[in-house]
């Protein structure tokens, strides 16, 4: 996403909004293994809400994960 930095004098210079990425390890009990994911903070909230197993199942159905 792109926007402007606006100073006190209202001068505008271009800036970028970067994604809030986090590198996180999860234990998957069904596979008895650890996986490392690089994901956005909003995705981490989704995993906390519905669980890592449900997220992995949905990602495999959509073809995001090859396994």
Fold annotation for 20-67: Ribosomal Protein L24e; Chain: T; (2.30.170)
pLDDT grade, residue 65 (50/70/90)?
A: confident
- CA 11 to chain CA centroid, nearest Å: 33
CA dihedral 9, 1, 50, 22 (to 10 degrees): -80
Determine how many CB atoms are found less than 10 A away from the CB of residue 56: 20
Quickly list DSSP for the chain: -EEEEE-TT--EEEEEPPP-EEEEEEEETTTTEEEEEEEEHHHHHHHHHH-HHHHHHHHHHHTSS--
> Looking at residue 67, what is its pLDDT?
59
pTM: 0.66
pLDDT digits (tens, 9 = 90+) for 14-57: 999 998 999 999 999 999 999 999 999 999 999 999 999 999 99
């Amino acid at each position: 996403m792109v926007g402007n930095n606006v100073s006190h004098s209202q001068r505008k210079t271009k800036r970028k909004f970067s994604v809030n990425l986090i590198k996180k390890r999860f234990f998957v009990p069904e596979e008895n293994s650890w996986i490392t994911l690089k994901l956005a903070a909003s995705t981490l909230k989704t995993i906390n809400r519905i669980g890592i197993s449900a997220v992995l199942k949905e990602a495999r159905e959509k073809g995001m994960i090859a396994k």
